[in-house]
Amino acid sequence: WEPPCTSFSRKTAAPSRLRSGMASAAPRRPGTEVQMSQLVLPCHSNHRGELGAGQLLKWMDTAACLSAERHAGCPCVTASMDDIYFEHTISVGQVVNIKAKVNRAFNSSMEVGIQVSHEELCSGRRWSTCKAFATFVAQGQGDVKLKPLSPQTEEEKIEHSIAAERRRMRLAHKDTLKDLLARCPRDTGTAGSAVVPAAETRVESVELVLPPHANHQGNAFGGQIMAWMENVATIAASRLCRAHPTLSAIEMFHFRGPSHVGDRVLLKAIVNNAFKNSMEVGVCAEAYGQEPAPSRRHINSAFMTFVVLDEQGRPRALPRLQPEPQDGERRYREASARQKIRLDRKYIVSCRQSEVPLSVPWDQSNKVYLSYNNVSALKTLVAKANWVLAREQEKVRMYTLEEDQFLSFRMEITVRITAAQAFSLLSDPRRRHEWDGHYATAELVQQVDEDDAIYHVVSRTPSPENKPQDFVILASRRKPCDKGDPYVVAFRSVTLPTHPPTNTFTRSETLCSGFCIWPETEETSKVAYYNQATPAYLNYVTTNIAGLSSNFYATFVACEKFLLKNKDEDELILRLRDL
Ligand code: COA
C-alpha cells in the first residue's frame, strides 16, 4: 500500500485544465486553495435524510489535507482540529462546497482554514455551514522546514497574521483546560427529575482500519477517525434522549498518534453531562495491532455537543444525567466547566471584533480567549488595506482608516533603535507617562502570565473642571513568531470586579489599540501606534487630521526621544536577561 503522495495530491486536487479553464471567469485562486463540491446522496445521510456529520468531517479533512500537501509537496497528517460549530443541517439532494487553504506555514506544521457552505440546486440558495481550522504536519525526510507563505490579499494577510495567535492558543489548550478544570466547583448538583444513569449511555465499538480508510501513507485518515468517533458519540447521545440527536459542536482536539491499515480502533463514548438543552459526549479512540493484542495506544479524545431539535428546529429540553460514581462524577463536573469555557471561547474568539462589547468581564476561564481577541483585533487592524496617509509632519506620519462606525488612526515614525529595544520600552504602560502627555499613572493590577497583564490607567485632566479618565486595560505583548512579523503590544479594556468605576474618575474604554514594531535595518525600526477610535478619541483625531493641532506630532516626537534616551539602559537589561 504505497501510492506516491505527490501524484495523489496532483490527481485529486482540481485538475489544472479545469483551473486554467476557470481562470478567465473566476477571480485569482491562491496557490494552496482546494475546492471540493459533493452532492449529498442517500448513502451519505442518516435515516432523516440529513448529511451525517462524520461524512462531512471526512470531506473537510480530505480537502484540507490536499491543500496542506500542495504547499508542503510531501505527505501530511492531521495534527489537530479547532472547535467546529455546525450552524445548519444539510439534506439529501443539496450540494456541499468546501474551500480549504493554507493560512500559514510554521516549521513542520501548517494551519489550514476550511470553509463549508451548502447550496440548494433548484433555488440556488446558499448557506454557510461551518468554518474550521486544522493543523497538518508535513512528514518529509528528516527535519522538515516548510517554505513560508506570502499572503497577497487583505484577507490572506489577516489570516496569516492571526494564525500565529491561534497556534499559541492551540498549543496551550491542554494546559488551559487542565488549569481551569482544577478550579471547577466540586458540587455535582444532579438534583432534578427524569434522571438517566450515565452507564446506560455507554457505547463501545471496534473498527478495523482497511485500505479505503487510509491515506497514501497507510495511516487512517483523520477524517475517518473523526467519523467513527462521531458515530459512537451519536449512539451514546441517542441513549440519553431516546430521540435523534444533532451534533452542534466539536471541541478542539489533537491526533496524538497514528493508526495504520490492519490496526483495530476501539471507540468508547459516554454522555458526560446533560444541560438544559444540550449534552456533552466524551469519546475516546485507542488503536492496537493484531491479536494477541500488544498494548493499546490512545490516539484521540474528543468532546462533542449534541442537541435534540423539535419540529420547528428549536432545541428540546433533555433528561438529566446521573453520573457514575468517582470517574463519572469527575467527568460530569468537568463537562460543566468545559461548557462555560466553550461558551466564552465561542463568544469571544469567533465574534467579529465589532460584535464584542467594549469591556468584557475578565475571569480566569476566559483569559486565554481575551488575550487572543486582544492581539488578533490589533493584527486585523494592522493588515487592513485601506489606510490613507492623512498628515505628515517631518518624520511623523498619521494614517486613517474609515470603516463601519469606526475611524481608526495610526501614527508612524522611524527610530534609531532595534525593534527588540523599542518593544521592551513600549510594552510597559507604567513608563508611558514619560512621553505621552495624556497618561498620568498606570498601576499593575494583575500579571496574568509572562506576556499578558492588566493595568489600571489614569489619564491627565485636560481642564480642572473635568474629572480625569481611568481605564482598566489588558496589555498583551507578543514577540515575532517568524521573520517578517512585527513585535506587537495590544491593549483592550476589560472589566474587573476589584476595579469598578468610581466617582473620582470618568471610566473610559478602549476597544483596540497598541504598537507594532518592525525592524527596518540592523539599527532602525518602524514604530507604529494604532487606535480604533471610539467617540472619546474622535475629536482628537479629527482635529489632528484637519491640521488644527500638532498634538500627535508632539507626542510622537516625545516617544522617539524617550526611546533614544532609554535604549542604552534597555540594551543592558536585554543583555543581562540573555546571560
Ligand atoms: N495542535 C497543533 N499543532 C501541534 C499540536 C497540536 N495539538 N501538537 C504538535 N503540533 C505541531 C507542533 O507545533 C510542531 O509544529 P512546528 O514544527 O511547525 O513547530 C509539529 O506539530 C511537530 O511537533 P512535535 O512536538 O514534534 O510533535 P509530535 O511529536 O507530538 O508529533 C504529530 C505531532 C501530529 C506528528 C503526531 O502527534 C502524530 O503523528 N499524530 C497522529 C497524526 C495522525 O495520524 N492523524 C490522522 C491521520 S492523517
Tens digit of pLDDT for each residue in 74-95? 999 999 999 899 988 999 999 9
Q: Could you tell me if residue 439 is inside a domain? A: yes
The verdict on the CB of residue 215 being under 6 Å from ligand 1 is: yes
* Mean pLDDT of the chain, nearest integer: 86
Give the residue-averaged pLDDT of 61-65.
Answer: 96
Q: Could you tell me if residue 56 is inside a domain? A: no
The verdict on the CB of residue 62 being under 6 Å from ligand 1 is: no
Could you tell me which residues come within 8 angstroms of residue 308 by beta carbon, excluding any fewer than 6 positions away? 241, 243, 244, 245, 246, 315, 316, 318
Task: Tell me: pLDDT of 18 over 60.
Answer: no
Helix (H, G, I), strand (E, B) or coil at 401: strand
The verdict on the CB of residue 300 being under 6 Å from ligand 1 is: no
Q: What is the pLDDT of residue 224?
A: 94
Q: What is the pLDDT of residue 14?
A: 35
Q: Could you tell me if residue 67 is inside a domain? A: no
Q: Which of 406, 361, 360 is nearest to 380 (CA)?
A: 406
Sign of torsion over alpha carbons 103, 104, 105, 110: negative
Q: Could you tell me if residue 401 is inside a domain? A: yes
Q: What is the pLDDT of residue 10?
A: 30
DSSP per-residue letters across 33-50: -EEEEEE--GGGB-TTSB
286-330: pLDDT as tens digits? 999 987 767 899 999 999 999 999 888 888 999 999 999 989 998
Residue type, 250: I
Could you tell me which residues come within 8 angstroms of residue 163 by beta carbon, excluding any fewer than 6 positions away? 103, 104, 111, 133
Q: Which atom of ligand 1 is nearest to the CA of 139?
A: 35
The verdict on the CB of residue 258 being under 6 Å from ligand 1 is: yes
51 to 40, 57, 91, 315: CA distances (angstroms): 7, 11, 6, 19
Please state whether beta strands 195-197 and 320-322 pair in parallel, antiparallel, or not at all (unpaired): parallel
Give the residue-averaged pLDDT of 233-261.
Answer: 93
Q: Could you tell me if residue 309 is inside a domain? A: no
Q: Could you tell me if residue 296 is inside a domain? A: no
- Is 349:299 a contact under the CB 8 Å cutoff? no
CATH number at residue 541: 3.30.530.20
Which residues are registered as beta bridge partners of 18?
none
**d(Cα 168, Cα 109) in Å, to the nearest integer?**
13
Q: Which atom of ligand 1 is nearest to the CA of 217?
A: 48
Task: Tell me: pLDDT of 438 over 90.
Answer: no
Task: Tell me: pLDDT of 518 over 90.
Answer: yes
CA 89 from centroid of its chain's CA atoms: 24
Ligand 1 centroid–CA 272 distance in Å is 27
Q: What is the pLDDT of residue 261?
A: 94
Residue type, 326: Q
Which residue owns the Cα nearest ligand 1 atom 10? Answer: 79
Task: Tell me: pLDDT of 8 over 70.
Answer: no
Task: Tell me: pLDDT of 246 over 60.
Answer: yes
Cell of 557: 516626537
Could you tell me which residues come within 8 angstroms of residue 197 by beta carbon, excluding any fewer than 6 positions away? 321, 322, 324
Domain count, the chain: 1
Q: Which atom of ligand 1 is nearest to the CA of 61?
A: 48
Q: Could you tell me if residue 290 is inside a domain? A: no
Q: Which domain holds residue 519?
A: 380-578
Q: Which of 209-223, 350-364, 382-396 has the lowest mean pLDDT?
A: 350-364
Could you tell me which residues come within 8 angstroms of residue 526 by beta carbon, excluding any fewer than 6 positions away? 412, 413, 414, 517, 518, 520
- Which of the four pLDDT bands, split at 50, 70 and 90, describes residue 216? confident
Could you tell me which residues come within 8 angstroms of residue 504 by beta carbon, excluding any fewer than 6 positions away? 467, 468, 470
Q: Could you tell me if residue 495 is inside a domain? A: yes
